[in-house]
Amino acid sequence: MRKRRNGGSPSARLKDSFDNLQVITKFSVADGAYQTRPARRPMTLRHLLTHTSGIGYGFASPIVARLQKGNEKPKWELRGRHK
């Protein structure tokens, strides 16, 4: 018998970079500067599977596109989720 996950497990168990997530609160288009705050609750597997985690994509968000510009990290490793 396989154990089923309920989707409420913190995603930090899957990937260390999902631990201590930050949320972008202010962003400057002019210079790409931004401010963050800690996420109010941990991101869960359910959030990831239902696309409600707050992870942004450059093709859908000009803020994320600007953050990715000139950044060597993979898109999913950018710290901070957008609102």
Q: What are the extents of the domains in the chain?
A: 11-77
For residue range 24-83, list pLDDT tens digits in order: 899 887 888 889 999 998 888 888 889 888 888 888 888 888 887 766 555 555 555 555
- In this prediction the pTM is 0.60
The CA-based angle 64-20-58, given to 5 degrees, is 10
For residue range 14-26, list pLDDT tens digits in order: 666 777 888 889 9
Give strand ranges (E) for the chain: 22-27, 34-38
Task: At 33, list the tokens.
Answer: 């500067």
